[in-house]
Every structure is written in C-alpha cells, then in structure tokens.
Structure 1
Amino acid sequence: MTATVLFGSFAVLLALSVPIGIALAIASLIVLISTQVLPPEFLAQSLITSVDSFAIMAVPFFILAGEVMSKGGVSARLFHVAETLVGNKTGGFAMATIITCMFFAAISGSGPATVAAIGGIMIPSMVRMGYDKKFATALVAAAGSLGVIIPPSIPMVMYGVTGGASVGDLFIGGIIPGIVVAAGLMVYAFYYSKKQGYVGNGVPFDIKEFGRSVWEAKWALLIPIIILGGIYGGIFTPTEAAAVAAIYGIIAGMFLYKELKIKDMPKVMADAALTTATVLIIVGAATAFGQLMTIAQIPGQIADFLLGISNNTIVIILLITLILLIIGCFMDTLAAIIILTPLLLPIATEIGYDPVHFGIIMVVNLAIGFITPPLGVNLFVGSGISGLSMQSLSKAVLPFFVAMLATLMIIIFIPQLTTVFLGE
C-alpha cells in the first residue's frame, strides 16, 4: 500500500510537470497522511535534519565557487590553454572545447554550470569556425556532463553522505574515469570532424605559447590542485576545501583577473543562493522519500528481485546500469543518488563492488542523464544558448550518448581506473 501510493502519486506529479523536489515532498506527504505510518511532521523534520550535516555544507560553497569562476574571466583563459595544445589537429576546436570543459569541471562541480560557462563562449565560436551548430551544441552539452565526474563533484558529495563513503576518496577516484569519458567524447569529435572536413587552426604547436597560456590561466588551474592537494595533504576536509575554493575564486576573479567587479557580487550571490536552495529542497524531500521507501521494505524487495534474476555479477551490474540509465532520463541526479544509493549500494557490495568504485559508476551513469530527454538539463541549457529546438538537439547528441555509454562500460569492468590512486 505504501509503495503504491508513494510511487503512484510521484509519477502523477512528474507527469503534471511538478518540479522534482516539490513532487518528492508532496508524494511523501500524501503517504504520511493516507497511511499514517508516521506523523506528517516527519516531512518537516526530514527537510531540516537531512541538510544538517557538515559534509553537505560543501554543496553551497562549490556552487558559489562555480558561479564566481563562470563570471570571473576563467573560461576564455582555460580555452586558450586547450587550443594551444590541440588546436592544430583535425577537429582541434572541438577537442579543445572538451578539454576546456574538463578544466572548468575541476572548478565548478556542476554539469549545467559547465555548459553555461563554456557554451556561451564556445558554441558561437565553433559556428564561426565553420562547425555545424547542432554538433557544436551537442558536444558542449555532452562535455558539460564532465562537471559532475571530474572532481570536485556535488553528486559525489551527496553519494558520500548517503552511502557512508569517503568524499575525498570519491574525488580521487573520479579523476581517471573523468579523463576516460572525455577521451571517448574526443574520439567521436575527431571522427566526426575528419568526416566533415573540420581542420585545425593551422598553427603548429609551440611549447612557448603553451607555456604562456598556462601561465595566464595559472590561477584557475591551481584550484583543483589546491582542493585535492589540501584534502589529501591533511590540510583541510572536503567541506573546508569547498569554502577555500569559493574564497579563492572571489580573490582570483576580483584581484588577479580583475574581471569580477564588486557590483557583480549581488547577482553572483543571488544566483548561487537560488541554485543552493533548489538543491537543498531536493535533498530534503528525497531523504524523506527514501526513508518512506525503507519503511515499505522496498530496498529489500529490489535486492531480492535483482539477485533472484541471476547470481552472475555481470548480469546484475548491467541490470543496475540499465535502471540508472532509465531513471536518469526522468529524475534529477541528486535526488536519484539520495534515493537509489541505499537501494543499490548493498547489492553492489554483495556482488563484490567497492563502494567508491560503485559511487563513480553511479555518478557517471546519472551524468549521462544530463543529455537524455525528457529531463536532460544540459540539453535545455545548450538549447537556450544556441536557439536550437530540444528535438533537433536530442538527435544530434545521440552519438555522444553512445560514446559516454561505451566509456561507462570501460569504467564498470576496469575497477583499477577508479582505485589506482586509493591503494586498493
């Protein structure tokens, strides 16, 4: 009864286009009122207690750091580094865009923020260079998904909190998988560019020019080094690292690059606050939703169902992958992690998967949801920048979806890509 009411009401609310956080909260409230398994006050308590966590404090700080960096003159400098590195290759502009998204991902921790910051510059630039607009927009939308794979990553923080895994280990574990996904996107970009005749900029690689570009972008490139180095050097926790990143971003934008003005700060703070509020509502509502699922014994039923289908590890992990791919099409990444981690992590550990490795699998899997309709947040951001319809953009992004799916399989079946730096 509880499960039927919970999922039934949630499905109806989603069909009515109710925002995901509100839909989760209303579905939970309907269950509380109709079944009386707990008093209605449980929802209000969950909204507060779920975000009353030192680790979750990292989320607003990383969001603020991303907002500051996106408006502080970072994007153009990062692209110049990437362009001097691969700009003379076939499809060099496209590959440089993917590398720029990697750099920015190591700053923002957010997929849509990466698309907005890089796409606003690169989509018009690629079109001017002769690239097809659909290809350019789809490429940025797909590469923007690196925002949650390359550390720091807000979904990794939420998985760490929900699954009891080390956020620092997740950050380290995400480095090589993020590079693998980027490499997969670059392989397709190169193939498509060669097929379409998109040549490079004709400027030979110059080590001095590359050094100059790195020097100009040094303040931005230092951020991931400060974050990961500080965490693993024992200087600060991931939450403190997020606060350092936010303060560093403000200093770099205002005093080093001098492109972030004091008059810009109210809007930057307001945008960061709005995003943070949206995220925390989703976190609180998803926590209540997940706890009601536990009361209804849904996690155990799902585990029994999956393990009853087969005792083959490969079959089970592929079934989990399919579930995550489908849910990623319809549910926000953070909500999916909070709800599904308690359901799927015990199954994954039972079949021998390391919690950190499985966390990276979940994040990469759900990152693909950024480019799969109907939710496809990165597609909406890319559509807003380029003016293309969602329908045409959804078709254009399909090859990138295939490339990301192929790299996901590599990450799933080669755990050493995740655990190599963890001493496992």
Structure 2
Amino acid sequence: MENGSIVLLMTFVFLFLGFIGVPVPFAILAGVLLGTMCTDVSFASIIGQLFEGVNSTALLAIPFFMLAGELLASTNVSQRIVDLAESLVGHIRGGLAQVVTLFSMLFAGISGSSNADVAAISRVLLPSMKTAGYDPARSAALVAAASTIANMIPPSIMAIVYGATGGVSISALFIGGIIPGVLIGIGLMIYNYFFGSIGTTQKHFTWAQRGVALKRSLLPMMIPILILGGILGGFFTPTEAGMAAVMYTIFVVIPLVVRGHFKLLPADFMRAAVLYSLPLMAVASASAFAWMVAYLQGPQVISGWIENVAGTNAIIIMLLLVVALIIVGNFIDAVPAIVIFMPIIAGLVQLGDINPVQMGVIAIVTLAFGLITPPYGLSLLLAANFAEVPFSRALWRAIPIYVVFLVVILLMVIFPDITLFLPRHFLPQSVGCFPNPRGEGFICPS
C-alpha cells in the first residue's frame, strides 16, 4: 500500500472505533497496529515508541497539578474561592453566571484541567443556579465553556503536553496563555450580561464583606501565585512548581482549613492517580501514532497541501491550521490531538516562520474549544450530566458561546502580541529574543 493510503486507513480505524465508544487510547493504538502490519516496521519498535512517548520529565508536572486540584475540590476549599467570586461579581446582571466565569478563571490557576473545573463548579454552583431559576441547559453550557479556561491560564495540562512533545518552553506557553484565557473569560462575562440566563438577583456585598471573603480565600489563592512566581522567578521548573503546589496544599492549606481531611488523603492520591492514567495512556498511544505518521511522511504531504494554498503567508497558514484543529477537536481529545499533529504543526511553524509559542497557544485554545463542540465535546457532556439535562439541549445553548472563542482565536492569529507580550517581558529568550549587545535588555524579532 502507498504511504498516504496507510495513513488514511490508520485514521479511519481510529475515528471509527472512537465513534462507536472504544476508549481513545485503545482506538488510537488499534490504528497504529493495523498500520504497522502494512509496513516493514516491527511491533517491538511500536512498543518502544509507546514508552518514549511518556518518558519525559516534563510530563511529571501533570499528576502534581491534578493532585493539587483534587485536594482542593475534595476538601471543599474551592467553596471559599466561589464565595470570593460571588462577592466580587455576584451582583452584576447575570449573577451566578458571572460567578461561574470568574471562579473558573481563579480555579484555573490551580487545577490545569477542564474536567476538574467542571466537577468543582458543578458540585458547588449548579444546584444554586437551579434553585435561583437559571435554565439548567444554559447553565451546563456556560459551565462547560468556562471550564476550558483551565487549559489556557497556567498551570495548563495541554501546555505541558504541547511543550514536552514539541520542544517548546512550557513556562512560555504558561504565561502566553494568560491573556487569551482572560479574554475568553471577559467574553463570557459580556455574553452573560447581555444574552445569558437571568435568575434571582444576587445581593450586593459591601467592601467589608469582600474583604472577609478575600481573607478566607487567601490560602488557596496563594497557589497560583506560588506557581507563577516560582516559574517566572526562576526558582521552579513547571514540574517542581506542581510539587510545590501539592506540598503547600498538604502542609499549609489542609492543616489550617480542614485538618480532619488528613485521613482521606490516600483516597485523594488514588483518584488523582486514576485521573493521571487517562492522559498518560493517550499520550503513549498518540506518540506511537505520530511516529508512524512521520515515518510514512504524512507531515510533509499535509504541509505541501497547505503550502500550495497559503504559500508562506503566516496568517493564512495559522487560519488553515485553526480550521483543521477545530475539525480534529470535534472528534479527538485535545491531549492525543496535540501529540498526533505535533509533527505537522512543527513543519508549518517553519514554513510560515511563526513563533512556536504563538502557534502553541493558538493550538491549545483551539483544541480547548473542541471540548464544547459536537460530537465529542467532553466538557459539555460532563456538564450536561451534572446538570441532568440532555446533551442536545446543552449543545443548543452552547452554540452562541462559540462566537466568543472564534473571535479570540481570530485576534490571536492577527495580533501576535496577545500571546507573546507576557513571554517577551518575563521570559524573552524563550520566544527568540536575544541580549542587546549595546547594553541592557533584549532585542526581540518582530
């Protein structure tokens, strides 16, 4: 068989098995094994690629951030962050819908996972929203959309996987995602104000009450400051920042807030381990898939197609890649999609002379958007289950929210500073800047 036919066969088998309900890692691996049978590649080589895919120190950051988020969610410390968000924006038109968005932006700096965000929001806010008269389907759509911010604002599991597989600075991807994440949050709050479901009006908090809420949330809210401050100050790598977040939670937050939770720590560790196994299995199988696609020269073929359409125009290349990733995100989870398409993305970055950090953040935001689009839409599916509404109803309510994501993605493509402004100021060498030979500061390419 020709190389192109083998790649199409692998892709078809993977998508078909995934569509009928086979777990994503096994569906991917089935496609890889079938492709291997059509080539002279040995099965031993594929086993080696499975191991190589997860043999990365950078990926160790994922379980630590997952564990930190699980600890805060299971101890109900996240309620204090909800109270802070409610004191700040609960009185604005949209009330609890505004609280959902702000809480997601705050909690995103701890968990790094959309699934953790959905669970945390749903446990605390969905019952209150239902009682206050909010449309459950619209609430589920908003919770799902807001949870995607966890993939943009650091620490982001997607950024860790992208950086580890693509050789891009994870720290730069972390801070490069802050402005896009905030823009998504602001866009959702504007949507809530003008078009969202309006329930019971929330009370207006005094500044004294806001001060009390801030004081109660101070301990958990120190975690994002610890993570970002440690990374930007050069004290931590992302993996070490995850370890520091877990240690701070166990030895500072829990003793001072919920001391009785210590006996439940083994269960928290086991849940975090189970959650970690899911992206780890996906990364392993997707790495083998990506290696087979690269072996069959798939990236060169796809890059050639895009070059014929876009030439070397960076904006057109990014727009075409965004369209491709939106389609891919409709069918594949973001983590394996990143690993599988990394060789193609790397080739297009070179073709259009695109900054790797800019392309990385755009890819992350686009694939996060796929978490609320059909037929996959994992975050939307989880939120609909928590809200006890049909997926179709939640999907119908989510469609207007798509405009927020598409506008932000388009702005990121047209204006590189949305993703590169913070990295250029805090980690200039990670985005291609070099020391100024004439004195202090750095010179950054335009």
Please, what TM-score do these two structures have when normalized by structure 1?
0.95
Shift of 1:267: 2.2
Gaps of at least 5 residues in structure 2 are 425-443
Q: Distance in 2 between matches of 1:174 and 1:332?
A: 19
Question: Equivalent residue for 2:335?
Answer: 334
Kept in 2: contact 1:43–1:285 (CA 8 A): no
The residue identity in structure 2 corresponding to 1:87 is: G
Shift of 1:371: 0.6
Equivalent positions of 1:306-345 (< 5 A) are 306-311=306-311, 312-345=313-346
Higher alpha-carbon deviation: 390-399 or 70-79: 70-79
Shift of 1:41: 1.1
Question: Equivalent residue for 2:210?
Answer: 210
Question: Equivalent residue for 1:98?
Answer: 101
Question: Equivalent residue for 2:441?
Answer: none
1:409 aligns to 2:410 (yes or no)? yes
The residue identity in structure 2 corresponding to 1:376 is: G
Q: Distance in 1 between matches of 2:123 and 2:360?
A: 31
Shift of 1:307: 1.0
Q: Distance in 2 between matches of 1:17 and 1:381?
A: 16
The residue identity in structure 2 corresponding to 1:173 is: G
1:109 aligns to 2:112 (yes or no)? yes
1:6 aligns to 2:10 (yes or no)? yes
The residue identity in structure 1 corresponding to 2:13 is: S
Correspondence for 1:34 among 29, 32, 38: 38
Kept in 1: contact 2:94–2:192 (CA 8 A): yes
Equivalent positions of 1:349-368 (< 5 A) are 349-368=350-369
Shift of 1:294: 0.4
Question: Equivalent residue for 2:395?
Answer: 394
The one-character-per-residue Cα deviations of 1:100-148 (angstroms, maximum 9, x if unpaired) are 0111111000001101111221111112122111111111111011111
Task: Flag the 1:387–1:259 CA change in 2: closer, same or farther, 3 A.
Answer: farther
1:126 aligns to 2:98 (yes or no)? no
Q: Distance in 2 between matches of 1:413 and 1:259?
A: 50
Q: Distance in 2 between matches of 1:260 and 1:184?
A: 40
Question: Equivalent residue for 1:371?
Answer: 372
The count of aligned residue pairs is 420
Kept in 2: contact 1:174–1:360 (CA 8 A): yes
1:24 aligns to 2:28 (yes or no)? yes
The residue identity in structure 2 corresponding to 1:21 is: P
Question: Equivalent residue for 1:153?
Answer: 156
Q: Distance in 2 between matches of 1:7 and 1:381?
A: 26
The residue identity in structure 2 corresponding to 1:3 is: V
Q: Distance in 1 between matches of 2:137 and 2:388?
A: 10
Kept in 2: contact 1:87–1:201 (CA 8 A): yes
Q: Distance in 1 between matches of 2:422 and 2:54?
A: 30
Correspondence for 2:181 among 162, 178, 182: 178
Equivalent positions of 1:75-86 (< 5 A) are 75-86=78-89
Question: Equivalent residue for 2:433?
Answer: none
The residue identity in structure 1 corresponding to 2:58 is: A
Secondary structure, aligned partner of 1:324? helix
Kept in 1: contact 2:286–2:340 (CA 8 A): yes
Q: Distance in 1 between matches of 2:365 and 2:418?
A: 13
1:57 aligns to 2:60 (yes or no)? yes
Secondary structure, aligned partner of 1:335? helix
Correspondence for 1:68 among 63, 68, 71: 71
CA RMSD of aligned residues (A): 1.6
The residue identity in structure 2 corresponding to 1:321 is: V
Shift of 1:375: 1.3
Higher alpha-carbon deviation: 85-94 or 289-298: 85-94
The residue identity in structure 2 corresponding to 1:382 is: A
Shift of 1:260: 6.3
Task: Flag the 1:150–1:260 CA change in 2: closer, same or farther, 3 A.
Answer: farther
The one-character-per-residue Cα deviations of 1:170-189 (angstroms, maximum 9, x if unpaired) are 11111111100111111111
Q: Distance in 1 between matches of 2:224 and 2:198?
A: 35
Q: Distance in 2 between matches of 1:100 and 1:70?
A: 13
Secondary structure, aligned partner of 1:421? helix
Q: Distance in 2 between matches of 1:416 and 1:315?
A: 17
Q: Distance in 2 between matches of 1:197 and 1:4?
A: 48
Q: Distance in 1 between matches of 2:328 and 2:230?
A: 35
Shift of 1:345: 2.8
Q: Distance in 2 between matches of 1:81 and 1:123?
A: 17
Task: Flag the 1:347–1:199 CA change in 2: closer, same or farther, 3 A.
Answer: same
The residue identity in structure 1 corresponding to 2:249 is: G
Shift of 1:275: 1.3
Please, what TM-score do these two structures have when normalized by structure 2?
0.90
Kept in 2: contact 1:73–1:260 (CA 8 A): no
Equivalent positions of 1:215-364 (< 5 A) are 215-258=215-258, 261-311=261-311, 312-364=313-365
The one-character-per-residue Cα deviations of 1:307-351 (angstroms, maximum 9, x if unpaired) are 101334333222111100010011011001111122023213432
Kept in 2: contact 1:370–1:377 (CA 8 A): yes
Kept in 2: contact 1:102–1:146 (CA 8 A): yes
Percent of residue pairs bearing the same amino acid type: 35
Q: Distance in 1 between matches of 2:259 and 2:116?
A: 18
The residue identity in structure 1 corresponding to 2:118 is: V
Q: Distance in 1 between matches of 2:245 and 2:158?
A: 17
Task: Flag the 1:104–1:260 CA change in 2: closer, same or farther, 3 A.
Answer: farther
1:88 aligns to 2:101 (yes or no)? no
The one-character-per-residue Cα deviations of 1:47-67 (angstroms, maximum 9, x if unpaired) are 222211111111111111121
Question: Equivalent residue for 1:139?
Answer: 142
